[in-house]
Amino acid sequence: MSVEELSYADVWKTLAKEDVSEYTQEKGKLTYLSWSRAWVILMKHYPHAEYVFHDWDGLPYRQLPDGTAEVVTSVKIGKLIRSMPLPVMDYKNNPVVNPTSKQVSDNRMRCLVKNIAMFGLGMGVYATLEPEDLEVDIEDGLPDEKNDVQPEGKKTPKKKAKEEKPEPKEEPESEKPDEAWASQFVEMMTGLLDMHDTQESLNSYWTDLTNQQSITKLSSDFPEHYVELMAKMMVRYDSKESLTGFYKLNKEHIGRLKSKHAKQKGELDAQFKAVAESIETTETK
């Protein structure tokens, strides 16, 4: 199988089989996998893999409205790309304000390990799972983890066949995303577009489970930012077929826009039409 033919499921099946328990370290009550060991194992299977540390306005981290910061990494294996944020934390795992260079450097490497885990390597460090639970056929999602720590106690229960989803809890007012968050998210998504050199890769990037959670918030609460991001995505497609395919990927978001934000729905339709006409003009030349 060529590098370009790899799917997320292929990579997951390969990396999830790696037992990293002998390479982990204990710090307090938490378990860590060193970045050097994680990268060596990744290189053993995918020597063409690449990673990127993202900067914002010359800074190696993104400043958040409350004064704390987060670092963001991206890992690329063939056409597959996953990005991961991580708060810059101190040795007690508390977010810090105005982080030092060492705190930024340490958390960047920790974020890289977490990013690699989203492809399957060392996921057991973040979630209490049996080996057979890691050998799953996944195309569009990964086992979830919380707060970048090793959970203790009970094993993760398996979902029932017809388990009903609980109603989403209302976020406390102080934790709800604001305009600054929306702008920063659009900036982050746009900044990573150049890493995707095929339209299939663009679609995978857009439908990434982590990104979709934030895109849902955009279309629901920040429609102007959603339309802005959609416009920047749509111009990346060079055929009507691929453009229409991307538009259909947003069926739920666009339906939400139509019911809650009619004005922005009209703006989005106009953007789509303009891009489609531009593609048609190029194709007829």
The mean pLDDT values, 10 residues at a time, for the chain of 285 residues are 84 91 78 88 93 90 90 92 91 90 93 92 66 41 38 45 51 55 82 79 81 87 93 91 91 92 93 91 76
- The confidence score (pLDDT) of residue 161 equals 52
Token duo for residue 16:
């999830």
CB 120 within 8 A of CB 14: yes
Rounded CA-CA distance 32/15 in Å is 17
- The confidence score (pLDDT) of residue 191 equals 78
CB 203 within 8 A of CB 237: no
- The confidence score (pLDDT) of residue 213 equals 81
pTM: 0.55
- For the purposes of burial, counting CB atoms within 10 Å of the CB of 218, is it exposed (0-12), middle (13-18) or buried (19 or more)? buried
Of the candidates 212, 40, 59, 47, the one whose C-alpha atom is nearest the C-alpha of residue 112 is: 40
Span(s) in the chain for CATH 3.30.390 = 3-134
Rounded CA-CA distance 232/224 in Å is 13
In the CATH hierarchy, which fold is given to the domain comprising 3-134?
Answer: Enolase-like; domain 1 (3.30.390)
- Ramachandran assignment for 19, one of left (phi > 0), alpha (psi -120 to 50 degrees), beta (any other): beta
74 forms bridges with which residues in the sheet?
A: 52, 83
CB 25 within 8 A of CB 34: yes
Of the candidates 267, 176, 280, 192, the one whose C-alpha atom is nearest the C-alpha of residue 230 is: 267
